Chain A
Amino acid sequence: MTLPVEALFLVDLMSTFAPYLLVTLSLNLEYGYTGVPDFGKTLAVAGGAFLVGYLPGRLLMQLLGVGLGLSYVEHNAEIVTKINEFLRVNVPLSMAVLALTLALAMVVGAALGFLVSHPAIRLREISLAMVFLAAGEALVVIGHNYPELAGGTLGIGVPDVFAWAGEYRFPMVTAFMIAVVVAVFIYLYLLTKSPLGRLLRAVRDDENAALALGKDVTKVRIKVITLASAITALGGALYAIYTGSVIAAAYQKVSWTFWPWVMVILGGTANNVGVVLGTFVFVTVRKLIIFYKDAFAPYVPFDVVWLDMLLLGVALILILLYRPEGLIPEKPIKTVAVRRVTAALKLREPGIKG
């Protein structure tokens, strides 16, 4: 690598930030806007990642006629190396596989979300959260014990669809991930600002009022869970493509469900900009601690890994106690009517602010 250390750090930071942002933004859509306590983000993340572990390698194996008759899991390293040789020179094929994988990951995520939402939707708060948590754990247990899916305990290598970028492979994937995140952010921003966004808040704040106004609250919840799971699975798939491997043990409830919750609460629920900030602060603090691990080491009498867990826990409690609305609080929606009224008020009495 010819890139300087700082650039590598930035790439590393961004590559963690981007997938997490997809998870936190979708969680914000579910919990922040609609009030669905999804404690099973792991489910969709692992769903997306497992698809990346399962499909593209097998597909390319058939397509390119590499290692036919061999077991994909057992001869994984060998097959993936051969596939990568093809992909390195064939950019259109790489991109087509990438697009197909991501699309299918979203379908898988949506399907998982849809499946879980059905039993879950009849329950409230704590029980609902438990069902989500259970579903996420269950999928990871399956991934851990069923090698065909994601290599079981050993994990599985993934064909590198960015192999053509050579030494700029990691920056390239990161740039791609950021582009995806920006697109998702704009989509969610517009969605939550639209009348539909107001419907979601209505479902969150007063279910009965929304029902009385003729809205099908259950259907809204199911749709939101499905959409959010699709976005989350996209995050999981991108992360798996970036790291180039999938291992079930990496998809723990702490790192893919609890941390995103911390990020959303930190940034401020029901505020997409706040969630971006919260995710960024969280990821940056963690990465900085790891990056400057050696500098910290003499001052702390224990392994620095635990320091960031301690700090995170304490920070989260302090935020909940002293700033429960997060770094950037939820803002009232400025609809056209509201804007007109405030403008009219301003015209009449210049002293009053809208």
Chain B
Amino acid sequence: MFSSLLSLLSLGLTLTFLTTRIPNFAHGCFATVGIYVALTVHKVFKADIYYGLPLAFLLTGFLALLQYLVVLKPLSRRRASVITLMVATIALELILLAVLNIYADYLARTFKISSRYFQLRGADFQLAGERGLLFVAPSLVAITTLLLHLALTKTKFGVAMRATIENPDLASALGINADLVYKVSWFLAGGLAGLAGGLLPLWFIGNPDTGDYMLVSIFAASVTGGLFSIYGGLFGGFFVGFVEVLGTGKLALSVGTWIIPYRPIIPLLAMVITLLIAPRGITGIMVSRVRFKWIRVWRWTG
């Protein structure tokens, strides 16, 4: 559950880092936007919470696009360093956080609903005696992965996207619209975060700073999976999610329940250990090993 949502989030983060080389600190807040779309749809418009998902996808997608076009693109055109861009996304995060807080206050005052530390578990449908989210979230991740994989390998735009990731200058020289690729990846990243956010209150507690709180986990997932491969985001999300949930469970059984509050440290530890062993993340090792093997095979046969 947690893993599915985390991998949706870290996928977007990896995507924008891969294409535009911007570590996006505002990514957590995109998820919070999704959370509040879900809340508004459910409580204000009294609609099924799943109707909020397309809306959350579009809204946060456009928000991410706007952020890229208005702030980050002019900055990177001025050859700003990665750190400068990172600080810029921190500024955007502060703005989003403020806006979300204002919106939460507005909701609470105008519609008399609890807009802080809320949970919408009851809003989910039931399927075979289990909550719907148990089926929806993993299948959403599966569909996203499948679509992404198909798009990247089978469509012309996907190939253009991979080319831009490998070498932006060469891709532009070949007539690929690199800017369009960047815009699409920001939109997708925002949208996926919005989707994850839209599902989040069905399982977890929502608050204006939920996304900000999750940010470190998202980054840990992305970095563990590998920031230099799209699948790294997905894989890292699942890996870190599992390590966090199962690791906490196992430790609680073997060491004692006092360990449970230390749960946020686990993904951080996973990240630091991964970075020490493989500075490019898990997918980084896999690629290099596979290549190594192929070269060896090629040498033997050739």
Contact = CB atoms under 8 A, between A and B. Distances in A.
Contacts of A303: 101-102, 105
A7 interface: no
Tell me whether chain A's interface is mostly helix, strand or loop, or mixed.
Answer: helix
Given A309-B98, A321-B75, A134 B268 contact: yes
A234 B269 CA distance: 27
Tell me whether chain B's interface is mostly helix, strand or loop, or mixed.
Answer: helix
B248 to A, nearest CB: 13
A141 B262 contact: yes
Contacts of A324: 78, 80, 84
Interface in A273-311: 302-303, 305-307, 309-310
A125 interface: yes
B82 A312 contact: no
A142 B262 contact: yes
Contacts of B87: 261-262, 265, 316, 320
Interface stretch (B58-66, B143-151, B216-224): B216-224
A123 B275 contact: yes
Contacts of B83: 31, 37, 125, 129
Interface in A297-347: 302-303, 305-307, 309-310, 312-314, 316-317, 320-321, 324
A137 interface: yes
A131 B91 contact: no
Interface string B78-109: 10101110111011111101110110011000
Given A126-B227, A141-B265, A317-B71, A134 B90 contact: no
Nearest to A257: B90
Contacts of B128: none
A137 B264 contact: yes
Contacts of A138: 264-265, 268-269
Interface string B246-283: 00000000000000011011001101100110010000
Contacts of B82: 125-126
B101 A317 contact: no
Interface in B204-232: 212, 216, 219-220, 223, 227
Contact of B216 (A125, A137, A302, A309): A137
Contacts of A103: none
A133 B275 CA distance: 14
A187 interface: no
Interface residues of B, number: 43
Interface in A11-43: 31, 37
B23 interface: yes
A90 interface: no
Which of A131, A306, A314, A316 has most chain B Cβ within 10 Å?
A306
A309 B271 contact: no
A306 B101 contact: yes
A129 B89 CA distance: 14
B91 A321 contact: no
B20 to A, nearest CB: 13
Given A129-B83, A131-B272, A320-B80, A310 B99 contact: yes
B74 interface: yes
Which of B90, B95, B276, B279 has most chain A Cβ within 10 Å?
B90
A253 B82 CA distance: 19
B272 A129 contact: no
B122 to A, nearest CB: 28
A314 B98 CA distance: 11
A130 interface: yes
A63 interface: no
Return the 8 tightest CB-CB contacts between A and B, nearest first.
A313-B95, A316-B91, A309-B98, A313-B94, A134-B268, A145-B261, A306-B98, A302-B102
Interface of A: 31, 37, 119, 122-123, 125-127, 129-131, 133-135, 137-138, 141-142, 144-145, 253-254, 258, 261-262, 265, 302-303, 305-307, 309-310, 312-314, 316-317, 320-321, 324
Given A119-B272, A125-B83, 12 more contacts: A119-B276, A130-B271, A134-B216, A134-B271, A137-B264, A138-B265, A141-B261, A303-B102, A310-B95, A313-B93, A320-B75, A320-B88
Interface of B: 17, 23, 71, 74-75, 78, 80, 82-84, 86-88, 90-95, 97-99, 101-102, 105-106, 212, 216, 219-220, 223, 227, 261-262, 264-265, 268-269, 271-272, 275-276, 279
14 contacts: A126-B86, A127-B223, A131-B275, A134-B271, A137-B216, A302-B102, A306-B98, A307-B98, A309-B97, A310-B99, A313-B98, A314-B95, A317-B95, A324-B78
